[in-house]
Structure 1
Amino acid sequence: MWDRLLTDCHVATMVPRPGDPLGIVSNAAIGIADGKIVRVGRRAELAGYRAKEVVPLGGAWVTPGLVDCHTHLVFGGNRAAEHAMRRAGASYEEIAQAGGGIASTVNATRGSSTSELIDSARRRLHALMRGGCTTVEVKSGYGYDTASELRLLNVARALGEREPVRIASTLLALHALPKSADRAAYVDMAVEEMIPTVARLGLAQAVDGFCEGIGFLPHEIERLFDAADNHGLRVKLHAEQLSNRGGAKLAARYNALSADHLEHLDAPGAQAMAEAGTVAVLLPGAFYTLQEKLRPPVQLLRDHGVPIAVATDCNPGTSPLLNPQLAMNMACTLFGLTPEEALAGMTVNAAAALGLQDEVGSLSPGMEADLCVWRIAEPAELGYWVGLMPERRVFAGLDA
């Protein structure tokens, strides 16, 4: 006997078929047992099965729970003042050089107690959960030293333990260089101290870096990735956001889970990502906030068959975005994704960007029963409304 049987619904399984990118099953039912999906099929096909609880959904649509695969959710303070600076014409680099940007968030984070960090991050996490997220990636990166990075990762762990959501933690070991730091010594610390400690404590599943002129250079990222690989951690990379430093090719060479931003991606980088299976994570919130003009080359990604994910990039400076539906809408209106691509970008492809594609992001037997029920007429509505959350109910395998 199953634990739960959801009936009278339409399902976007996100397991594509020819001519059907969403893998739609109409007039469907879903069987759930032990927190996992047992069967997905037409309602008539599952009519003979018994369950402890039968839940009629009244013709609603069911999708996988949304996956936000790129956030900087844990931080102290905010950077609302930078909004005014940008409106006055200051660039990303100028704000950073004036003492703003990442450095100001590091200072505010250091000045916040652990309980304050948990409380503020929880409020942001709840906003994502209200939008349908059942899996959220959380990066560190606002610490500048090993002890501070460990504190941020422990906050992320606490969120995952206290909230009905799956947290995927990432050590953003090379985010920004402290103003007075010796560059070589700082990279040494990240490689020789930070990564081994985080790996030993099991506080992160992946390691990330910011490959950019105002961040870290490819040879420094190589050292970071070598250390991650030596300690059994997967890698991700902020790449080609402000310029082309060859970050996408570098990430692909290390079989990175994802390369993120990618406004300046070129054809060799796209080809390398395709061959490595590296997911392209598009971050329209940052593009919007920074008023960028060069869009990520979506058609290039399509042409090479690179999986495309979409994320909020929630952070205090360049993407104060806490609405996954708005992220999907922006991906369509700003970057030219189709509604189907945007939904795949926050489900199956986002799960792949975290290495979780065998657990979440699609609805098929054996997958976690992380799913959302939406009172909508068609899946395209999820990236259509601006400011209106469609009524929804979440069934999460974590507590099913």
Structure 2
Amino acid sequence: MSFDNVWLNANLATMGDDALGLIEDGAIASKNGRIAWVGPRTGLPAHAAPVTDCGGAWILPGLVDCHTHLVFGGNRAAEFEQRLGGATYEEIARAGGGILSTMRATRAASEAQLVQAALPRLDALLREGVTTVEVKSGYGLEPETELRQLRAARALGAQRPVSIVTSLLAAHAVPPEYKGRQGEYARHVAEDIIPRAAAEHLADAVDAFFDSIGFTAEETALVFAAAQRHGLPVKLHADQLTDCGGAALAAAHGALSADHLERSNSAGIAAMARTGTVAVLLPGATLILRETHFPPIAAMREHGCRMALSTDMNPGSSPALSLLLMLNLGCTLFRMTVPEALLGVTRHAAAALGLGDRGVLAEGLRCDLALYRIQRPAELCYWLGGNPCIGRVVAGIAA
């Protein structure tokens, strides 16, 4: 058969089923950036393609970090100190810190400055085997900076071998110019910012923050209706600070994902399971905010709601540079099983972005691979601070 590249002497975690789909002594072949063959090495067809001997490494689908705020100006280390002193996330936000603090730094940064600041953060993810990263805006809160953030995100994908998926999160907070006029700002997002982002093909989805310090159900519906008019799928920050029905709201709008969900109720989780909305869990924020409410994992299992894991990399509540660390935190904090956690950064994370062409090692899908020097896949969830990644392949090409 005609292949472009072949990887031999490897063990595979195909992620094709809930037991990880393990194949020992396996092989993978690529053609035109796609997986052309995968299975036990003994069944590999005859070929003349270049071969990579993996030396017994494990191969997983390239990891997917499906919820990040990677592009921003400045940092919020001072607020981290405030929280250590007893201030809450909500108190800091209401005093003009939090998202608005990063808004000011991001508005002051050029596109080039945003790209240069984000590249080291992106590189940290790539070193761990990540091949797809979602990047949100949401720190501009006005058209020019929101679009600048999205352009910077696109530029990252041009400078590194990685797939960048963008989400417009202009409905993240109310900017100072609209203080006391939250509904008017939501209309501005719907009528002005979303159409511009769509016209310039800068956004792959639209996100919103629905919570006690976020937008109302009516305002979120207005934003989502505008997204859908422009052919953009939607996502939702939901139920992080209060159980305000965010899980059910996301399901009602057919959202790709609902993210956070620390205080979601079982009925909302059941609604998500029915619509296929993925639950994106963010243990980095749980750790940094010293949160005592954990996502309702038992309800997600009971109702069959798919669970993804992500860094939530952002300057305030989750300055996390490691998706592998999130695997450990998902298991230790949230009590996820190893298969649940690993599916959460591959197959289910891809589903949270609406990407059906990756996250599984299967013929016809993108040949995005992550190679690890480990004895068993559980080690990816076990080690704290280690990085056993020895290689990445993006669309069939070693990166």
The TM-score by the shorter chain falls in which range?
A: over 0.9
Give the residue type in structure 2 aligned to 1:29. A
Q: What residue is the counterpart of 1:53 in the other structure?
A: 50
Q: Is 1:240 aligned with 2:233?
A: no
**Residue aligned with 1:372, SS:** strand
Q: Is 1:201 aligned with 2:192?
A: no
Give the residue type in structure 1 aligned to 2:321. L
Residue correspondence of structure 1 range 7-86 to structure 2 within 5 A: 7-16=8-17, 21-46=19-44, 48-86=45-83
Give the residue type in structure 2 aligned to 1:396. V
Give the residue type in structure 1 aligned to 2:60. T
Give the residue type in structure 2 aligned to 1:337. M
Deviates more, 1:303-312 or 1:199-208: 199-208
**Residue aligned with 1:383, SS:** helix
Give the residue type in structure 1 aligned to 2:225. D
Deviates more, 1:183-192 or 1:361-370: 183-192
Task: Map Cα deviations across residues 38-74 of structure 1 (whole Å, 9 max, x no partner).
Answer: 111111100x421421111111110001000000000
Offset of residue 184 of structure 1: 2.4
Question: Partners of 2:46 and 2:293 in 1: how far apart?
Answer: 53
Question: Partners of 2:386 and 2:232 in 1: how far apart?
Answer: 39
Residue correspondence of structure 1 range 57-136 to structure 2 within 5 A: 57-136=54-133
Contact 2:127/2:389 (<8 A) preserved = no
**Residue aligned with 2:378, SS:** helix
Offset of residue 197 of structure 1: 1.0
Task: Map Cα deviations across residues 116-166 of structure 1 (whole Å, 9 max, x no partner).
Answer: 110011111001101111000000000111111111000011111121000
Question: Partners of 1:111 and 1:314 in 2: how far apart?
Answer: 21
Q: What residue is the counterpart of 2:316 in the other structure?
A: 317
Task: Map Cα deviations across residues 215-255 of structure 1 (whole Å, 9 max, x no partner).
Answer: 11111101111111111000000001000111111111111
Question: Partners of 1:388 and 1:29 in 2: how far apart?
Answer: 26
Q: Is 1:172 aligned with 2:173?
A: no
**Residue aligned with 1:210, SS:** strand
Q: What residue is the counterpart of 2:392 in the other structure?
A: 394
Question: Partners of 2:112 and 2:48 in 1: how far apart?
Answer: 41
Question: Partners of 2:59 and 2:165 in 1: how far apart?
Answer: 23
Q: Kindly tell me: are residues 163 and 179 of structure 1, through their superposed partners in 2, closer, same or farther at Cα, counting changes over 3 Å?
A: same
Q: What residue is the counterpart of 2:342 in the other structure?
A: 343
Contact 1:4/1:51 (<8 A) preserved = no
Offset of residue 264 of structure 1: 0.7
Q: Show structure 1 runs of 4+ deviating over 4 A.
A: none
Offset of residue 199 of structure 1: 1.0
User: When the two structures are superposed, what TM-score results if normalisation uses the length of structure 2?
Assistant: 0.97
**Residue aligned with 1:265, SS:** coil
Q: How many residues align?
A: 395
Offset of residue 97 of structure 1: 2.0
Q: What residue is the counterpart of 1:375 in the other structure?
A: 373
The two structures, once aligned, show a CA RMSD in angstroms of 1.0
Task: Map Cα deviations across residues 303-327 of structure 1 (whole Å, 9 max, x no partner).
Answer: 0000000000000000000101101
Question: Partners of 1:244 and 1:218 in 2: how far apart?
Answer: 13
**Residue aligned with 1:134, SS:** strand
Give the residue type in structure 2 aligned to 1:296. P
**Residue aligned with 1:171, SS:** strand
Offset of residue 180 of structure 1: 4.1
Q: Structure 2: which 5+ residue stretches go unaligned?
A: none
Q: Structure 1: which 5+ residue stretches go unaligned?
A: none
User: When the two structures are superposed, what TM-score results if normalisation uses the length of structure 1?
Assistant: 0.97
Task: Map Cα deviations across residues 279-320 of structure 1 (whole Å, 9 max, x no partner).
Answer: 000000001010000110101000000000000000000000
Q: Kindly tell me: are residues 392 and 207 of structure 1, through their superposed partners in 2, closer, same or farther at Cα, counting changes over 3 Å?
A: same
Question: Partners of 2:357 and 2:89 in 1: how far apart?
Answer: 37
**Residue aligned with 2:51, SS:** strand
Task: Map Cα deviations across residues 172-192 of structure 1 (whole Å, 9 max, x no partner).
Answer: 020001234122221111000
Give the residue type in structure 2 aligned to 1:216. F
Contact 1:218/1:245 (<8 A) preserved = no
Deviates more, 1:99-108 or 1:20-29: 20-29
Residue correspondence of structure 1 range 323-362 to structure 2 within 5 A: 323-356=322-355, 358-362=356-360
Contact 1:165/1:398 (<8 A) preserved = no
